[in-house]
């Protein structure tokens, strides 16, 4: 951090001023325009919402580089910080994201890094979480001189660039995995019978116990799957848990371990058909369907097969219209997938599980390295921004040595 220390001593030895966010940038919220799903014309331009790209449309209203910050909906991370997106090019932005543009004298990229550190939990209000324009504009930003901002950006972008390179390599591996998975499961090369999804076993759904009844939720230990949990191919846990009281009085069904879950109602169905293997006993909400496979079938094989045919299932069973994307589950049940003999299923599972681990397991390989890099970035980001604002570093000597080596 030698160069940063020199710049701070030269340009702001007595600390830095704080300004309201609205005095650090141009906020373009009055220029954004929501378009209902039905009214959107498909095209090449990204349509941004609170959590990033929601769709692609035929026109744009912004052209440039912006920082987008979630305004309402799922707009807060587990750490209490806002959802922040770096967006460039021609785009459409709806009214669920604040739009921040560059102002002379302050680096937009500096703001991008800093806003990610702000605890906005005290600012979030309403049944639908909302970061209002007034609260957003009043967020306090430490503003060191531009040379200091630029050096902080240079250091932090080194971390994000490394993470982006690893993510690109992982994406290439996932494409390779998808290719080989599809090749292995292709009918009739694997001598399979075509079986409807309804014939794979017993399907069931769930519901949401009353959120007003704290006895159903507080200190719960029973996993409860909702769409937000369906981010990984093999689940390890869920964000929310129910109590025993929710099972007995809330009318919930406890499903056995080794099931396969799919999402049938969620905005994610615009572009993805989430499938997950669930190795633990669980309950689910009304947007999830879960399969207990019948005897003679491997649940892991069914999981891989549903992933393989997932995009075609999504496209061929998706309902038209409606406020929330959903699948016609009766059409899902009628869809056919190839099912070979059990010994063939098991051999295929062994190969595909190895591929999946390489691409998805956060304990090994590229996924583990990407997660480690992200944590490292967050650690240095918080330390560097604290140092720039106060002159006090929270980096240890060992961290400083590692950072100096990386930036050399």
- CA distance readout (Å), 346 to 45, 257, 353, 401: 43, 18, 10, 49
Tell me if 40 sits within 8 A of 101, measured CB to CB.
no
pLDDT single digits (tens) 372-407? 777 777 776 676 677 666 655 433 333 444 444 444
Per-domain residue ranges for the chain?
A: 1-16+144-191+342-408, 18-143, 193-339
Residues 65, 109: Cα–Cα separation, whole Å: 10
Q: Could you list the beta-strand ranges (E) of 209-287.
A: 222-225, 240-242, 259-263, 275-278, 283-284
Six-digit token pair at 4?
A: 């940063």
pLDDT at 91: 97
CA terminus-to-terminus distance, the chain: 10
Residues 230, 187: Cα–Cα separation, whole Å: 27
Using only C-alpha atoms, the chain has a radius of gyration, in whole angstroms, of 24
Q: Which residues contact 347 (CB under 8 A, 6 or more apart)?
A: none
Q: With cut-offs at 50, 70 and 90, classify the pLDDT of residue 127.
A: confident
- Burial grade of 124 (CB within 10 A; 0-12, 13-18, 19 or more): middle
Q: With cut-offs at 50, 70 and 90, classify the pLDDT of residue 408.
A: very low
The single-letter DSSP state of residue 130 is: B
Residues 154, 407: Cα–Cα separation, whole Å: 9
Tell me if 384 sits within 8 A of 230, measured CB to CB.
no
Q: Which residues contact 86 (CB under 8 A, 6 or more apart)?
A: 65, 67, 109, 112
Share of the chain above pLDDT 90, in %: 54
pLDDT single digits (tens) 230-259? 988 899 999 999 999 999 998 899 999 999
- CA distance readout (Å), 212 to 125, 246, 292, 378: 17, 12, 31, 35
| Domain 18-143 matches domain 193-339 at the CATH topology level | yes
Mean pLDDT rounded to a whole number for the chain? 85
pLDDT single digits (tens) 165-209? 777 777 777 777 777 777 778 765 567 889 999 999 999 999 999
- CA distance readout (Å), 243 to 206, 258, 279, 284: 15, 21, 19, 13
Q: Token match 């991370």: residue? A: 77
Dihedral (CA of 45, 42, 232, 306) sign? negative
Q: The domain 193-339 is classified under which CATH number: 3.90.220.20, 2.40.50.100, 3.90.1150.10, 3.30.70.3270?
A: 3.90.220.20
Tell me if 373 sits within 8 A of 169, measured CB to CB.
no
pLDDT at 359: 59
| 18-143 maps to CATH 3.40.50.280 | no
Neighbour-count burial for 319-355, b at 16+ CB within 10 Å, e otherwise = eeeeeebbbebeebeebebbbbeeebbeebbeebbeb
pLDDT at 387: 61
Task: Tally Cβ neighbours within 10 Å of residue 362.
Answer: 13
Q: Does residue 396 sit in helix, strand or coil? A: coil
Six-digit token pair at 16?
A: 């830095």
Q: With cut-offs at 50, 70 and 90, classify the pLDDT of residue 261.
A: very high
Q: Token match 């190795």: residue? A: 279
């Amino acid at each position: 951090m030698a160069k940063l220390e020199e710049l701070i001593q030269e340009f702001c030895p007595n600390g830095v001023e704080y300004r309201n966010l609205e005095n650090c940038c141009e906020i373009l919220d009055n220029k954004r325009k929501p378009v209902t799903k039905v009214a959107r014309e498909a095209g090449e331009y990204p349509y941004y919402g609170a959590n990033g790209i929601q769709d692609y449309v035929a026109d744009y209203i912004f052209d440039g580089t912006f920082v987008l910050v979630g305004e309402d909906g799922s707009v807060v991370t587990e750490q209490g910080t806002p959802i922040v997106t770096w967006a460039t090019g021609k785009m459409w932005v709806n009214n669920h994201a604040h739009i921040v543009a560059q102002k002379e004298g302050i680096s937009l990229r500096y703001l991008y890094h800093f806003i990610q550190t702000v605890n906005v939990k005290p600012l979030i209000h309403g049944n639908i979480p909302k970061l209002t324009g007034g609260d957003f504009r009043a967020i306090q930003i430490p503003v060191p001189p531009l040379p200091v901002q630029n050096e902080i950006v240079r250091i932090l972008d080194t971390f994000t660039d490394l993470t982006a390179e690893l993510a690109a390599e992982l994406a290439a591996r996932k494409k390779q995995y998808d290719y080989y998975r599809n090749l292995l499961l292709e009918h009739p090369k694997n001598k399979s019978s075509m079986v409807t999804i309804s014939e794979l076993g017993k399907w069931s759904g769930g519901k949401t116990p009353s959120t007003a009844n704290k006895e159903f939720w507080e200190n719960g230990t029973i996993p409860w799957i909702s769409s937000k949990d369906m981010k990984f191919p093999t689940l390890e846990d869920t964000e929310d848990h129910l109590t025993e009281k929710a099972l007995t009085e809330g009318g919930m069904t406890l499903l056995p371990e080794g099931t396969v879950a799919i999402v049938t109602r969620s905005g994610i169905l615009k572009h993805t058909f989430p499938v997950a293997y669930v190795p633990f006993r669980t309950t689910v909400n009304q947007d999830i369907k879960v399969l207990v496979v019948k005897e003679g079938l491997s649940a892991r094989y069914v999981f891989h097969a549903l992933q393989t045919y997932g995009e075609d299932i999504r496209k061929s069973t998706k309902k038209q219209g409606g406020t929330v994307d959903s699948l016609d589950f009766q059409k899902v049940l009628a869809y056919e997938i190839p099912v070979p003999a059990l010994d063939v299923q098991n051999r295929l599972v062994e190969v595909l599980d190895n591929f999946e681990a390489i691409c998805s397991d956060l304990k090994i390989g590229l996924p583990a390295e990407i997660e480690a890099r992200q944590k490292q970035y967050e650690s240095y980001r918080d330390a560097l921004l604290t140092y720039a604002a106060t002159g006090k570093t929270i980096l240890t000597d060992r961290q400083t040595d590692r950072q100096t080596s990386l930036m050399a």
